[in-house]
Structure 1
Amino acid sequence: MDIILESHIILSLLGIVCCFWVIAGWFKGVFRGYTTLICLTATFTASLSGFLLPADELRPSHLVGLLSVILLIFAINSLYVEQLQGGWRIIYIISALASFYLNVFVAVVQAFIHIDFLHGLAPTQQELLFVFTQAGVFLFFSATAIITIAKPALPPAI
């Protein structure tokens, strides 16, 4: 494995762990500033580093990475420039969660490809286990968005 791929994987996993910690804070009404910064930075950098991986053609992963970068730009702007004021709070929640979702979605795909046990259970990624796993991930992030938007405003970002 080369350094770019290793860095991409580490950044993706760091982003996932930090983002789940940030989401846990949202449920408690706590803003985790440094963890949020790490989450957004790691996820943004992981999304960009995916374009450095060898590829002969445009792949779906490139489109997911591009969408993630766009969503993260909205999330970062909403949080650090607009400071979650007015409608920017909802834009932040939706764009941040959508980018986090894409990172987890790709991690699940990669897990079913590269972890022998999971690959054996769903070798084509069309099996019910894979579909239900991805549906569960989608439902988690959708429910989180609904709950977080319905809660009172997050504490100030800065």
Structure 2
Amino acid sequence: MFDPTTLTGLHTWISLIAIVLGIPVTLALMRGERAGAGITAAFLALAFLTSATGFLFPFSGVKPSHVVGAIALVVVLGAAYALYGAGRVGVWRPVYAAAAVASLYFLVFVAVAQAFAKVPALAALAPTQSEPPFAIAQGVVLLAFVIVGTLAARARPASVPA
């Protein structure tokens, strides 16, 4: 699973690195700031690559993971446009903040689902991922990200001292 020479390993590492990079980006947004250009670009690129590489796995028929992946791609592309295309001017500042936080949410959402599928103790609690422990975990993650996303979208840039 963590062997970077396999598609699964590469996809997993890209996702984990994107999550790690997304944390300081999100914390900066909550303060009304921007994380460094490099870390932000790396986060957005890796969030995009995570979803894009998910479509490289063999599949037959559209599954919920494909729908989540497609939505995640649209959201991260929206964040990239708001930042690089629109320069976070006007309405694009909160759009960027919300989309960047939502991009991190999708990564964490899938990480939680994978943890419940792959970690034996969690899989025992929710073998079909339709049991209450799984729903509670995902509900807590969603609530946390709604709060964080709202704070990030409402945060005002720090004023420049006179």
Equivalent residues in 2 for 1:11-22, closer than 5 Å: 11-22=14-25
- Partner Cα separation in structure 2 for residue 27 and residue 147 of structure 1: 6
Structure 1 stretch displaced more, 137-146 or 17-26: 17-26
Q: Which residue number in structure 1 is paired with residue 60 of structure 2?
A: 56
Q: Which residue number in structure 2 is paired with residue 89 of structure 1?
A: 93
The structure that is helix-richer by fraction is: 1
Name the SS of the counterpart of 1:52 in structure 2.
coil
1:144 pairs, out of 135, 143, 148, with 148
1:7 pairs, out of 10, 22, 26, with 10
Render the CA deviation track for 1:94-139: whole Å, top value 9, x for unaligned: 2222222111111111110011111112212222221111011101
Q: Is this contact kept in 2: 1:31–1:154, CA < 8 A?
A: no
Q: Which residue number in structure 2 is paired with residue 47 of structure 1?
A: 51
Q: CA RMSD in A?
A: 1.7
- Partner Cα separation in structure 2 for residue 117 and residue 20 of structure 1: 26
- Partner Cα separation in structure 2 for residue 26 and residue 34 of structure 1: 15
* Pair 1:24-2:27 in alignment: yes
1:130 pairs, out of 127, 131, 134, with 134
- Partner Cα separation in structure 2 for residue 121 and residue 75 of structure 1: 35
Is there any run of 5+ residues in structure 2 with no aligned partner, and where?
none
- Partner Cα separation in structure 2 for residue 77 and residue 151 of structure 1: 20
Give the TM-score taking structure 1 as reference length: 0.90
Structure 1 stretch displaced more, 89-98 or 41-50: 89-98
Equivalent residues in 2 for 1:63-78, closer than 5 Å: 63-78=67-82
Give the TM-score taking structure 2 as reference length: 0.88
- Partner Cα separation in structure 1 for residue 158 and residue 22 of structure 2: 15
Kindly report structure 1 stretches of 4+ aligned residues shifted beyond 6 Å. none
- Partner Cα separation in structure 1 for residue 28 and residue 46 of structure 2: 18
Name the SS of the counterpart of 2:153 in structure 1.
helix
> Per-residue deviation at 1:48?
0.4
